[in-house]
Amino acid sequence: MSAYAALRTAVPFRLLRHAVPGLVALAMALFAVTSEQAWPFDVVAGYTGLMLVLKLGAYVAEVKPPRPLNAPSGAVYGVVYGATALTFLLGQWWITAAAWVTIGGLSFLAARR
């Protein structure tokens, strides 16, 4: 078995592979909070707005997309959303933090259906 195949079948990689967009958002949040530049705020505001609209629309429409067999549990997404919200709270981005708490809550509620 090659090293890549071993990495592909490893449990942590399998868990993180589906959470990559959330982890990228977390990294961007860390960068935006600590950066003095304006463009990271624009990226974070745009992505947060899109996520909020998509999660709210999915919840209202009662859409539950099919889940891949090797997808991580909702707890992984909850940790990523919580860490992102905590990053914004520590950076005193109150509205953005509230939006990420809402995104996490809507994801939790939609998964419980």
Write the single-letter amino acid at 55. K
Which pLDDT belongs to residue 74? 74
Separation of alpha carbons 110 and 104, rounded Å: 10
Q: Which residues of the chain have pLDDT under 50?
A: none
Output the pLDDT for position 75: 78
Write down the pTM of the prediction. 0.80
Q: Residue 18 has what pLDDT?
A: 72
CB 32 within 8 A of CB 44: yes
